[in-house]
Amino acid sequence: MTDQAPDDLHRPVDFEVAAADYRHWHLSVDGDVARVDMDVNPDAGLRPGYELKLNSYDLGVDIELADLVRRMRFEHPQVRTVILSSGNDRVFCAGANINMLGMSSHAWKVNFCKFTNETRCEIEDATENSAQVYIAACNGTTAGGGYELALACKEIYLQDDGNSAVSLPEVPLLGVLPGTGGLTRLVDKRKIRRDRADVFSTTAEGIRGKRAVAWNLVDGIYPRSKFPEAMAARAKAIAEESSGDLLPGTRTGVPLKPLAPEIGANFRQYRHVRFEWDSDQRLAKLTIQAPTADDVAHLKKGADAVHAAGDDLWALRAYRELDDALLHLRVNHLGIGLVLVRVEGDPQTILDHDAALHDIKDHWFSHEVILHMGRVLRRFDLTSRSFFAMGDAGTAFAGNLLELCLAADRFYLLDDPDSPVQVGLSAFNDGALPMSHGISRLEARFIGTPELLEDVRGKHQLFDAEAADDAGLVTVLLDDIDWDDDVRIAIEERASLSPDALTGMEANLRFPGAENADSKIFARLTAWQNWIFIRPNATGPEGALTLYGKPDRPTFDWNRV
């Protein structure tokens, strides 16, 4: 079996974009307030075959938005309020492009929804953790994914012109769910009553005006003539309110330069990360080069020197590269089922690196770097591939890079006195890089054995192979005699299992503990949407999504399953 193409047109997707090359977004910055206008070019879809009318979006539009949100935090750190609005006079956003969804493969739809969810979560993360507050200025019809984009903002304002409405019409019009967290954010974030949320989510034409305010679907309404001035005034007020929440450090932006990996027939080689794949074996290898002594020495020069290093800082550059590799794995290598993860370097140097970075964590730039590391690790958690961390000779799973072991489905560790391998814990394993549901990966590992968690929590040190196994950090400890055969058998067995069953199994096992809004979006919503996308009522020949915009009405199988 060979690697499947990312879509029916066999076009790989590039997730890097330069701000100067945006085709769908316009950014203007005035001091501590930024305005981001969604102005989708209808003829610039990521793939041919559909037109992005009415500010509808596809993956390409959202790749630009994700880049913009990230650049806003690093390149425009002085901004306190971001007004998210539309360059279209009558439409804020019509949501995901229906024709694009209708022509896309099942895998494309699912990966598209997951990426848009992660982007919306990054908007919320910027508001929550970077004092960079997003407000939605809905200056026209706000439907489906458009309203879900607004829901990611802290506040939502709607133009009151007798026509503009907010809506989630997916259930009545398309036979699917709002795919970007809309249902969860209605009841968990905006605390809308369940019965009202039920009415709203089955009312295709949506709700406007005073009723939208009364139901808390929006925070306020303004007539068209006063809308721009009202939004500017509110944005300025928020900026002044949040100015006291700023971390220290001169707010000089850090440009994010292109990663420019070397690309071969079966590999992507970045500065610190190598991603290679064997499509016939359905196997990939992800190798991360750990920080060096020079990286540690630079961190010890202090926060200002680290800020001056910009995006060459190992912690930022390496995690940007890891993020890009994960996105390529997800979308461009659908046939890959198992990824072997290695970290190469010196484990003690990683612990020294983490200690030095932790010492300057309260500087705004260091803070943003650490937040970014956490977001990339959550992307790793949420990637529907099997991951085996391979702790063989020469590897260094320690500190922030031990998180890859804790995120992996299994961790194999070599116990060989002639080639000793050490595992290490740092402050970054104590909760600085949380999972989607808010707990650390150590807490998730020891969810049923809190005594083991207490034994390792705060022990920022190296463990030899046997001690790491005794501490519960290892899945399988193997000596040098058994390593080759046992690892080979484990890889072959994993490759023989159903990828559908594995995706469901892994998603259920990776996130123990209580749910929160983010975990509901990525677990409950993703699972249901995944299933609904393959049901004939939605995507069959006579399904609602298939026939949308056509004169024929959908034919439903009325049996509840």
For residues 278 and 445, give the distance between their C-alpha atoms in angstroms, rounded to a whole number: 30
DSSP run (H or E) holding 389: strand 386-391
For residues 14 and 42, give the distance between their C-alpha atoms in angstroms, rounded to a whole number: 20
Rg of the chain (C-alpha set): 24
Which phi-psi region, left, alpha or beta, contains residue 291 (left: φ > 0; alpha: ψ -120 to 50)?
beta
Q: What is the predicted pLDDT for the residue at 8? A: 46
Nearest of 511, 522, 275 to residue 406 by alpha carbon? 511
**Which residues have a Cβ under 8 Å from the Cβ of 38 and sit 6 or more positions away?**
24, 25, 55, 57, 61, 84, 85, 86, 87, 88, 92, 93
pLDDT (average), residues 400-411 = 98
In a 10 Å sphere around its CB, with 0-12 CB exposed, 13-18 middle and 19+ buried, how is residue 480 labelled? middle
Tell me which CATH homologous superfamily contains domain 19-245.
2-enoyl-CoA Hydratase; Chain A, domain 1 (3.90.226.10)
Residue 341 above 70 pLDDT?
yes
Q: What is the predicted pLDDT for the residue at 93? A: 98
Residue 7 above 90 pLDDT?
no
In a 10 Å sphere around its CB, with 0-12 CB exposed, 13-18 middle and 19+ buried, how is residue 508 labelled? exposed
Q: Where are the domains of the chain?
A: 19-245, 262-509
Give the tens place of pLDDT for each residue, 434-443: 999 999 999 9
Give the tens place of pLDDT for each residue, 484-531: 999 999 999 999 999 999 999 999 999 999 999 999 999 888 888 889
Give me the residue label for tokens 């790793």.
380
DSSP assignment of 35-76 = EEEE---TT--SSSS---GGGEE-HHHHHHHHHHHHHHHHH-
- Judge whether 19-245 and 262-509 match in fold: yes
Residue 9 above 70 pLDDT?
no
For residues 407 and 441, give the distance between their C-alpha atoms in angstroms, rounded to a whole number: 7
Question: Measured in whole angstroms, how far is the alpha carbon of residue 456 from the centre of its chain?
Answer: 29
First to last CA, the chain: 33
- Which sign, positive or negative, has the C-alpha torsion 262, 270, 312, 126? positive
For residues 472 and 470, give the distance between their C-alpha atoms in angstroms, rounded to a whole number: 5
Give the tens place of pLDDT for each residue, 147-195: 999 999 999 999 999 999 999 999 999 999 999 999 999 999 999 999 9
Long-range Cβ contacts of 529-538 (<8 Å, 24+ apart): 529/110, 529/113, 529/176, 529/177, 529/179, 530/110, 532/175, 532/176, 532/177, 533/106, 533/109, 533/110, 533/176, 534/106, 535/175, 537/175, 538/174, 538/175, 538/176
pLDDT (average), residues 364-371 = 97
For residues 8 and 46, give the distance between their C-alpha atoms in angstroms, rounded to a whole number: 13
For residues 536 and 11, give the distance between their C-alpha atoms in angstroms, rounded to a whole number: 27
SS3 197: helix
Residue 3 above 60 pLDDT?
no
Composition of the chain by helix, strand, coil, percent to 5:
45, 15, 40
DSSP lists the bridge partners of residue 37 as 26, 85
Tokens at residue 421, please? 């391998």
Strands 283-289 and 273-278, how do they pair? antiparallel
Phi, psi of 559 (to 5 degrees): -75, 130
Give the tens place of pLDDT for each residue, 414-461: 999 999 999 999 999 999 999 999 999 999 999 999 999 999 998 999
Treating both helix axes as pointing N-terminal to C-terminal, what angle do 364-381 and 314-332 enclose, rounded to 10 degrees?
30
Q: In CATH terms, is domain 262-509 a member of 3.90.226.10?
A: yes
Read off the DSSP letter of residue 130: S
DSSP assignment of 476-542 = EEEETTTHHHHHHHHHHHHHTS-HHHHHHHHHHHS--S---HHHIIIIIIHHHHHHHHTSHHHHSTT
pTM comes to: 0.96
For residues 34 and 50, give the distance between their C-alpha atoms in angstroms, rounded to a whole number: 31
For residues 276 and 387, give the distance between their C-alpha atoms in angstroms, rounded to a whole number: 14
Residue 4 above 90 pLDDT?
no
**Which residues have a Cβ under 8 Å from the Cβ of 452 and sit 6 or more positions away?**
446, 471, 472
Q: What is the predicted pLDDT for the residue at 10? A: 60
The mean predicted confidence, pLDDT, of the chain is 95
Q: Are residues 25 and 36 in contact, defined by beta-carbon separation less than 8 angstroms?
A: yes
